C-alpha cells in the first residue's frame, strides 16, 4: 500500500513523533515512515482507543520508541517531543456520540491535549506539526461540496473540539512562529480501524456484521451520504502536508477526502457483493449531531499539496476486507 513514496526528500536523518500512533490512522503513518527508512519514530499513545498490536512489527526496533503516555500530561508531551523534527498529531477521542455522552473527556483530550502537544512542539523547536481535524467542523452548512472557507455551525462537542484545534493551530503558528497544518479528514476507513465497541465507525461495523451474515444497523433511512476515504489517501495527505514547500504553514487547513460520495445504503450494497451475502440492513433512529450529507471539494489539497487520492472506495474496501480476514 505504501511502497511508492509520497515524499521526495530523504527522511533517513529525520525523527518523527506520531501521537495516537497505536490507533488506526496513526499506525498507518508509522508503517509508512518505517517503510521509507525514517531515522526514528516515536509514538505517544495512552492506548485508550488504540492497540499495542497495531505497532507489533515495530516494537523490537532500536529506532522505534513507544511512550505509553497521555497528551493531557505536558511532561509526557515534552518527553515525546525531545529531538523530534516533525509531529503527526493523531491522538484524540473520536466519535460524535462519545462526545455527546462525555463532552468533558472529549474536550480534555482533543482540545487541552492538543494545546499540550503544540506547547511541547514549540519548546522542542519542532519543524512542523500536521494535525488531524475533521469534516465535522462543517456542521450544519448545507453547501456541497464542502469548501474550506465555508463553515456552518458545529453540531457536537466533538466538532467543537476539532474547530478549537483549528483556531489554536492558526494562533500558535502566528504567535510562536510555528509551522502548523490541519487536515480535515472525511470518514477515513481501512486496515486497523477498530470494528469493536459502542463508538466503532460505520465501515468496520458493517463489515463485521456482514461477514457473520448479520444485518448491519443503519441510522435513519440510510440515504445519508459520505465521502469515504481510504486510509492510504490520508497517509499521503499527511506526508505531503509535512514536506510541502513554499506553502502557507500558518495554520492552513485542507479537506482530505476523495471528492466522491455514496449513501450508506449503497455502501452496504457494495459490501454485500464483495463479501457475498444477501442479508438486508435494519434501520433505527437517526443519531443526534450527525451530518446528513458530506462531500469534499479537494481542489485546495490537490493544488497546494499535490494530493491525489489514489485509492477509491471499492478498492479500499477490498484491502480492508483482506485485513479483516487476517484478524
Ligand atoms: N477515522 C476517521 O474517519 C476520522 C475522521 C475525522 C477525524 N479523525 C481524527 O483522526 C485522528 C485519528 O483517528 P483514528 O480514526 O485513527 O482513531 P483511533 O481511536 O484509532 O486513534 C486515536 C489514537 O489516539 C490515542 N489516544 C486517545 N487519547 C489519548 C491521550 N489522551 N493521550 C495519548 N493518546 C491518546 C488512542 O489510544 C488511539 O490510539 C483523530 O484525531 C480523529 O479525531 C478521524
Give the model's pLDDT for residue 289. Answer: 80
Kindly list the protein residues whose Cβ atom lies closer than 6 A to any atom of ligand 1. Answer: 20, 22-26, 44-50, 70-72, 90-94, 109, 113, 132, 134, 185, 187-188, 194, 201
Site to substitute for ligand 1 among 17, 19, 22, 23, most atoms within 8 A of C-beta: 23
| 256 closest CA partner among 44, 38, 88 | 88
Asked if 2 and 57 count as a contact pair (C-beta separation under 8 A), the reply is no
Choosing among 3.30.70.260, 3.40.50.720, 3.30.830.10, 2.102.10.10, the CATH entry for 15-189+230-258+296-309 is: 3.40.50.720
DSSP state of 55: G
Asked if 202 and 186 count as a contact pair (C-beta separation under 8 A), the reply is no
Q: In percent, how much of the chain has pLDDT > 70?
A: 100
Give the model's pLDDT for residue 290. Answer: 81
Alpha-carbon distance 134 to 226, whole Å? 13
Taking residues 19-31, report their average pLDDT. Answer: 98
Cα–Cα distance list, 176 to 26, 156, 171, 181, 251 (Å): 26, 30, 8, 14, 12
Give the model's pLDDT for residue 227. Answer: 98
Give the model's pLDDT for residue 97. Answer: 94
Counting runs of H as helices and runs of E as strands, what totals does the chain give? 11, 13
Alpha-carbon distance 78 to 101, whole Å? 30
Specify the 3-state DSSP secondary structure of 8. Answer: coil
Taking residues 266-272, report their average pLDDT. Answer: 98
* pLDDT(57) > 90: yes
Site to substitute for ligand 1 among 52, 91, 120, most atoms within 8 A of C-beta: 91
Nearest CA to ligand 1 atom 19: 49
| 189 closest CA partner among 233, 239, 159, 225 | 233
All three cell numbers of 98, joined, read 462519545
For residue 141, name the pLDDT band (cuts at 50, 70, 90).
very high
Q: How many CB atoms lie within 10 A of CB 74?
A: 17
Positions marked active-site: 158
Give the model's pLDDT for residue 305. Answer: 98
Specify the 3-state DSSP secondary structure of 301. Answer: helix
Give the model's pLDDT for residue 291. Answer: 83
Taking residues 39-58, report their average pLDDT. Answer: 98
Alpha-carbon distance 38 to 82, whole Å? 16
Taking residues 32-58, report their average pLDDT. Answer: 98
Give the model's pLDDT for residue 13. Answer: 98
DSSP state of 9: S
Provide the greatest CA pair distance for the chain: 57
> Cα 266 from chain centroid?
23
Looking at the chain, how many residues does it have? 327
| 168 closest CA partner among 103, 247, 114 | 114
- pLDDT digit string, tens, across residues 76-115: 999 999 999 999 999 999 999 999 999 999 999 999 999 9
Atom of ligand 1 nearest to the CA of 188: 3
Query: H/E element holding 76?
Result: helix 74-81
Asked if 167 and 253 count as a contact pair (C-beta separation under 8 A), the reply is no
Query: H/E element holding 184?
Result: strand 180-185
Alpha-carbon distance 99 to 161, whole Å? 9
Give the model's pLDDT for residue 259. Answer: 98
Q: How many CB atoms lie within 10 A of CB 222?
A: 16
Nearest CA to ligand 1 atom 32: 70
Alpha-carbon distance 25 to 75, whole Å? 24
Atom of ligand 1 nearest to the CA of 89: 41
Amino acid at each position: 500500500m505504501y511502497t511508492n513514496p509520497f515524499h521526495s526528500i530523504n527522511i533517513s536523518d529525520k525523527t518523527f513523533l506520531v501521537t495516537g500512533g497505536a490507533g488506526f490512522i496513526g499506525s498507518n503513518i508509522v508503517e509508512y515512515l518505517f517503510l521509507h527508512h525514517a531515522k526514528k519514530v516515536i509514538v505517544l499513545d495512552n492506548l485508550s482507543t488504540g492497540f499495542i498490536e497495531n505497532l507489533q512489527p515495530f516494537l523490537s526496533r532500536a529506532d522505534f520508541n513507544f511512550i505509553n503516555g497521555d497528551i493531557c500530561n505536558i511532561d509526557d508531551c515534552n518527553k515525546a517531543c525531545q529531538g523530534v523534527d516533525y509531529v503527526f498529531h493523531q491522538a484524540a477521542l473520536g466519535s460524535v456520540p462519545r462526545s455527546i455522552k462525555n463532552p468533558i473527556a472529549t474536550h480534555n483530550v482533543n482540545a487541552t491535549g492538543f494545546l499540550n502537544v503544540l506547547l511541547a512542539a514549540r519548546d522542542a523547536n519542532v519543524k512542523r506539526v500536521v494535525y488531524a481535524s475533521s469534516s465535522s467542523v462543517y456542521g450544519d452548512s448545507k453547501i456541497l461540496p464542502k469548501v474550506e472557507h465555508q463553515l456552518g455551525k458545529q453540531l457536537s462537542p466533538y466538532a467543537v473540539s476539532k474547530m478549537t484545534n483549528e483556531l489554536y493551530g492558526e494562533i500558535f503558528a502566528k504567535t510562536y512562529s510555528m509551522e502548523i497544518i490541519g487536515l480535515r479528514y472525511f470518514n477515513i476507513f481501512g486496515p486497523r480501524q477498530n470494528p469493536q465497541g459502542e463508538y466503532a465507525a460505520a465501515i468496520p461495523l458493517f463489515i463485521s456484521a456482514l461477514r457473520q451474515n448479520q444485518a448491519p444497523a443503519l441510522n435513519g433511512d440510510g440515504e445519508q451520504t459520505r465521502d469515504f476515504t481510504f486510509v492510504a489517501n490520508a497517509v499521503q495527505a499527511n506526508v505531503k502536508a509535512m514536506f510541502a514547500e513554499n506553502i502557507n504553514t500558518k495554520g492552513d487547513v485542507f479537506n482530505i477526502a476523495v471528492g466522491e460520495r455514496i449513501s450508506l445504503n449503497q455502501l452496504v450494497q457494495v459490501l454485500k457483493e464483495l463479501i457475498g451475502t444477501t442479508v438486508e440492513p435494519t434501520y433505527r433512529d437517526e443519531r443526534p449531531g450527525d451530518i446528513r450529507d458530506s462531500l469534499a471539494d479537494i481542489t485546495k489539497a490537490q493544488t497546494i499539496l499535490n494530493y491525489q487520492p489514489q485509492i477509491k472506495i471499492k478498492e479500499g474496501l477490498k484491502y480492508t476486507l483482506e485485513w479483516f480476514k487476517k484478524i
